[in-house]
Amino acid sequence: MYVRQIGPRVIVQTPAKLNLLLEVLARRADGYHELETVMQAISPCDTLEFAPTAGTEITLACRWGWGLVSQGGEASAFGDLPVAEKNIVWRAVAKLRERAGITRGAAISLVKRIPSAAGLGGASSDAAAALMAANLGWRLGFSREQLAALAAEIGSDVPFFLTGGAAICRGRGERIEPLSRSVRLAAVVVRPPVGLATPEVFRHCRPADEPVPAAPLCRALATGQVAEVGKNLHNRLEEFAARLTPWIGRLRNEFARQGTLGHQMTGSGSSYFGLCHSARQARRVASRLRARRIGVVFAATSAITNNHLE
Ligand code: C5P
């Protein structure tokens, strides 16, 4: 997350994420699943602008970024764009305001470049950006811990985006342990024309009989061995998502021919990514896959951060 403050306005570039590893450990009594997942913040970023207003209303203007529109054609090709109260951004800001016990208003604008229903964390990232921006813009002075607790109430992936970088996440996904030293990663991501709803994928999944440990992947990240990172990718949800849409199998076949270091679905899908040894290779693979007309294709790299709460 990259945060700038210009007078009372706060502008946040907030990234997507990839799940380099996602293991489902158990089904919980509260309906959630106990996870161990390694997440990496990546480009592209959504842009959220927050401006305090004199009134009491919270307004949200939201649109898709041109890059996505030019590739995806119809907006429905890369996801819904919920308005006002239906948008997680609006709800996050309203919740923070309620918790702070104030009634101040805000005008928020959001440009989305991260496709939705994609396993890329777009909505969660926007919610984290909104919390960060409102905390600064309204000068609320909430601590990192307070914001993280609020973030976890909004969604399991939201706390990760307050930290960014690479992290191992446990519990529902809301318990974050940042991975201190991480290697710069390049990837190609494809969001097929069909999205997947997270609850639906989790409903169909079964916890692992023999969980894949995260340690080898974390070691590879810490020592900068990108090829080893590629060999240790894992996503337990992929086999279950593949039963819900033929796109996962199709993307697996497409990536198998591209010579990447490793490839898999991210999060609960429907996006699929290949890890590359360089940004150059990622751009090359992206242009080959674009010609295949399999959805929105982009080359990504690990995202930068200047998180104000560090
Ligand atoms: O926390 P969030 O609202 O993002 O989760 C969306 C849905 O995904 C949950 O309602 C649940 O069905 C499923 N989920 C799960 N286990 C997790 C995270 C999400 O079952 N650890």
DSSP one-letter string for 171-212: ETTTEEEE-SS----EEEEEE-SS---HHHHHHH----SSPP
Q: Does 172 sit in the ligand 1 pocket, CB within 6 Å?
A: yes
pLDDT score for 309 = 45
Q: Does 202 sit in the ligand 1 pocket, CB within 6 Å?
A: yes
Asked if 30 is an active-site residue, the reply is no
- For residue 42, give the H/E element and its range: strand 33-53
Atom of ligand 1 nearest to the CA of 34: 21
Question: Beta strands 262-265 and 175-178: pairing type?
Answer: unpaired
- Please choose from 30, 33, 154 the residue to mutate so as to test ligand 1's pocket, defined by most ligand atoms within 8 A of CB: 33
Q: Does 2 sit in the ligand 1 pocket, CB within 6 Å?
A: no
Residue 147, amino acid: L
pLDDT score for 263 = 98
Atom of ligand 1 nearest to the CA of 27: 20
CA dist., res. 44 & res. 234, Å (int): 22
One pLDDT digit (tens) per residue for the chain, 310 residues: 999 999 999 999 999 999 999 999 999 999 999 999 999 999 999 999 999 999 999 999 999 987 776 676 555 556 778 878 889 999 999 999 999 999 999 999 999 999 999 999 999 999 999 999 999 999 999 999 999 999 999 999 999 999 999 999 999 999 999 997 668 899 999 999 999 999 999 999 999 999 999 999 999 999 999 999 999 999 999 999 999 999 999 999 999 999 999 999 999 999 999 999 999 999 999 999 999 999 999 999 998 666 544 4
Q: How close is the Cα of 31 to the center of ligand 1, in Å?
A: 8
pLDDT score for 69 = 66
pLDDT score for 310 = 40
Length, in residues, of the chain: 310
- Please choose from 32, 158, 174, 176 the residue to mutate so as to test ligand 1's pocket, defined by most ligand atoms within 8 A of CB: 32
* 25 Cα distance to chain centroid: 21
pLDDT score for 46 = 97
* CB proximity list for 13: less than 8 A, separation 6 or greater: 1, 2, 45, 46, 47
Atom of ligand 1 nearest to the CA of 158: 4
